[in-house]
Amino acid sequence: MKNLVEHYADQVISTNQTYQPMDRTYLINYLYHLVGEGNVEGNAESGALLETVSQLINVAIQNHQIDDTLKNRELLEAELTNLYTPLPSTVNERFWNLYHNSPEQATDYFYQLSQQNNYIKTERIKKNLHWDTATKFGDLEITINLSKPEKDPNDIAKAGQNTHFGYPECNLCAQTEGYYGNAQVPVRVNHRIIDLLIGGRPWGFQYSPYAYFDQHCIFLDDVHEPMKISAQTFSNLIEIVQMFPTYFVGSNADLPIVGGSILSHEHYQGGYHTFPMMKANTRFTFTVNGYPDVKAEVLNWPMSTIRLTSKDTHELIYLATHILNEWRKYSDPSVAVRAETNGTPHHTVTPIVRMNNQGQFEVYVVLRDNQTSAKYPDGIFHPHAEYQHIKKENIGLIEVMGRAILPARLKSELVEVKKDLLGQPNDIADYHVPWAKQLKQNYNLNPDNVQDVIDKEVGITFMHVLENAGVFKLDDKGTAAFHKFIDTL
């Protein structure tokens, strides 16, 4: 009967064509080097690849080859799964051969590979909580993220100013492919990147380790340079959608507070998902002289969103860029909109592109303003203090579109809220107390309905967060102000 090491060596040979049967002894000895030679007997005749990997990690701990820490487990797992992950050159060759048949075949292959070797943390992602909440803007998608730690907006801003970390320069750099990790960069031994050209320049395509939706992917510039929204951004996004027609793709904004979690490296996110924003109704339409083939509309959405639709990609790029340029210099103090203060720019956009069912391109231009004030030191158009017990992070690309990525702390904290609402002994966090009091006033709570109420009200809070982030509010004053900006176009 084969032991675990022998069984895994055979699994690697059958999975990765890099290895042949005559390489078996070599693989076995290498595995003994990694996990040790004792405690290798076990149920080795069955089990998927990742199940065997998990067993071998436990063997390594028993044999004192590694200390039982998350970092050490992740590194050994990556080393073990890397044995059956094809080399980058092989992955790229396979991807582009499949792409010539269809883009979907290529992306399905790469996505499955990234799951098979656990680069995409499938088991962690399964632990995420998710539900939909009905609102006046349609159903919002609520998730509590249990696979990735919450980031503080101040740390994000500081990281955006730090454009050099050594080697690799950041954890989005192409240098991370196969990297063993350090204090800043996670383990990337089994990481693979597809090489492609965007805008005539080399870029990379990979999947997110903490996928927030189906085939959540990242497009990253080969050059380590800060995020910048420009005409080239719109051109790049459209080119990516032409390359992968079933995907949407978008960019986080390029300023702190309203930007994403990594501002120091130019990158986009995309995938196979239709977000609530894309289903939003139209508030009003408008036309811009010189762009006869573009349908322009403002959406009934809490974020101030313009949707441009056309088959003419040139007109879309020019008009989206025109909106960006006008917005960068636009001020309307009557609604607290200021292009700059003391020479510091405040205006940018969150751009998103997809292809609709009629074969037309849709370009979403979401207006952003990152001002702060004495009343709102975290950001005027940022989650306000009364909602930060649920969400305090920046409102980035994914959340702009109506999918909440809420912090892991809420899983345990909401249990204590639930106990408090039912009058049971609890350890409710102080910052949830005002919210809980309000829920008690608004609902006749009992064990049968309390969880539904909590889920609903978390979703409603996220809706309010999006309303906070909206530059032009949805009241009469905000609508008139939005029209006033549109008139400048």
Amino acid 461: pLDDT: 98
Q: pLDDT (tens digit, 0 to 9) for every residue of the chain, 489 residues total?
A: 789 999 999 999 999 888 999 999 999 999 999 999 999 987 666 678 999 999 999 999 999 999 998 889 999 999 999 999 999 999 999 999 999 999 999 999 999 999 999 999 988 899 999 999 999 999 999 999 887 644 445 544 554 455 445 788 888 999 999 999 887 788 999 999 999 999 999 999 999 998 999 999 999 999 999 999 999 999 999 999 999 999 999 999 999 999 877 899 999 999 999 999 999 999 999 999 999 999 999 999 999 999 999 999 999 999 999 999 999 999 999 999 999 999 999 999 999 999 999 999 999 999 999 999 999 999 999 999 999 999 999 999 999 999 999 999 999 999 999 999 999 999 999 999 999 999 999 999 999 999 999 999 999 999 999 999 999 999 999 999 999 999 999
411 located within any domain: no
Residue at which a domain ends, from 19, 52, 82: 82
What is the pLDDT, as a whole number, of residue 43? 67
Residue 209 resides in a domain? yes
In a domain, 138, yes or no: yes
Are 67 and 146 in a shared domain? Answer: no
Asked if residue 155 belongs to a domain, the reply is yes
Q: Can you give the pLDDT at residue 383?
A: 96
Strands 361-369 and 305-310: antiparallel
Q: Residue 57 has what pLDDT?
A: 96
Q: Retrieve residue 252's tokens.
A: 């986080």
Q: Which helix (H) or strand (E) holds 138?
A: strand 138-144
Residue 285 and residue 337 in one domain: yes
The model's pTM: 0.93
Query: DSSP string of 256-282?
Result: TTTB-S--SS-EEEEES---GGGGPPE
The boundaries of the domain holding residue 232 are: 125-167+193-404+471-487
Specify if 442 maps to a domain: no
CA distance 215 to 273: 8
pLDDT of residue 154: 56
**What pLDDT, on the 0 to 100 scale, is given for residue 150?**
46
Omega within 30 of 0 (cis) for the link into 302 = no
Q: What is the pLDDT of residue 45?
A: 64
Q: What's the domain count of the chain? A: 2
Q: How many helices (H) and strands (E) does the chain have?
A: 15, 15
d(CA 278, CA 307): 9
Do residue 332 and residue 269 come from a single domain?
A: yes
Is the domain of 301 the same as that of 237? Answer: yes
